[in-house]
Each structure stands twice: as C-alpha cells, then as structure tokens.
Amino acid sequence: MSSYSLIIASGNAHKVKEFEQLLDGIHFKVYSASVCGGMPKVDENGGSFVANSQIKAEALRAIAPKEAWVMADDSGLEVDALEGAPGVYSARYAGPDASDQDNVTKLLKALGDLPKEQRTARFRCVLCVIDEFGLVSFYDGSCKGHIAIAPTGGNGFGYDPVFIPDGYDQSFAELGDTVKGKLSHRAKAAEWLKSTLAEL
C-alpha cells in the first residue's frame, strides 16, 4: 500500500464503498479492515460518538501498517424529546439483538402522540482519524429533521423510514440514496474530512 492509504475500521463492504465515493478525488486509497486481517472485536462502551469512534480507530491502528492512516465512525439518532436518546445506543435501542423494526417501534412508542414540533431529531456522525504519526482528529456531521408518526418508504435501513429531514416531506427511506447522500450526517462529516485531506 502507498503512504496515502486510509483503512476503514469496518469489514462492511457497503460502508467502505460509501466512504470511497464520499472521499473521491483526494490522494488516498480507501481500504477495508480486511487488509489487516479483519476488524478486531471492541467493546463500544464509550458514552459518546467521539469516544466510541476513537475506541474503534485505536483498535485498528494497533494492527494496521505504520504508514497507513485509519478511520472509524460512530453514528446514531438523537431525539430532543428523549434527551438525546437513543444516541450511542441507536443500533441496540430495543435490546442487544434488536432488529431495525424493533428499534423503530420502541422509538415511536416512546414519542407517543407528541406533535411535530416536539419530535425534532438529528442523525449525527463522528469520524475519528489517526494518521501515521498517531495524531488523532475528529470530524462531526449532522442532519436535522423530525420523527414521523409512522414509518414510510421501502429504501434505507435503521431509522430511515421515520426520519424526515428538514426541508422535505418524505422520509429518508422514500427520498432514496442520491438525496440522502447529499444530506446525510455521514456525508457532511466526510466532506469536512475530505477538505482537510485534500490539503495534504
């Protein structure tokens, strides 16, 4: 690998491909953690997206080639009426083995019949990057919106069917990947990262 290698702390081919597209145009080749033998198992016990992203990045840094950069992301949904929940527990909101539908069902039940103005929420993503010298940096992105009364749309995953971004009347699961790709929390965090790496 060249000196400009960025290894993503994930074995998920879809996520790696997404970051390849989001970071297109900079002098970095994006790789999955499989080039290091796979992503080590980590206990994501941090109390914030920043902490969890750093836990994953440091675990990968420990096994990655010294000349490579590594990047990990942690993201989730924050709902104002629920004091920021589900937050770092977004993927396991309804339990450790919860499905997307389980999590959505619990979320809608928790919000009950609150009116739209009290259902404000945001998707947040934090990227943790560690360079070849061990310097740690963070890049944050968010997408504001509100939680719908009921799920709509067949695309997307997670909370996409109930998240309606500001300025739109449709959920992420209805808007499709093109629109979501421009608005998403991950896209905004990656845009910040890309602008920084482009200066190298």
43 is catalytic: no
pLDDT at 163 over 80: yes
Contact (CB, 8 A) for 161 and 153? yes
Cβ atoms of 139 and 82 closer than 8 Å: no
pLDDT tens by residue, 110-160: 999 999 999 999 999 999 999 999 999 999 999 999 999 999 998 888 999
Q: Which domains does the chain have, with CATH numbers?
A: 5-197 (3.90.950.10)
Q: The tokens of 27 are what? A: 């002098």
Tell me the pairing of strands 120-130 and 136-147: antiparallel
With both helix axes pointing from N to C terminus, report the angle between 172-183 and 185-197 in degrees, rounded to the nearest 10. 10
Mapped onto helix, strand or coil, the DSSP state of residue 26 is coil
User: What pLDDT band is residue 3 in, cutting at 50, 70 and 90?
Assistant: low
3-state helix, strand, coil in the chain (%, to 5): 40, 25, 40
Which is catalytic among the residues 74, 102, 160, 177? 74
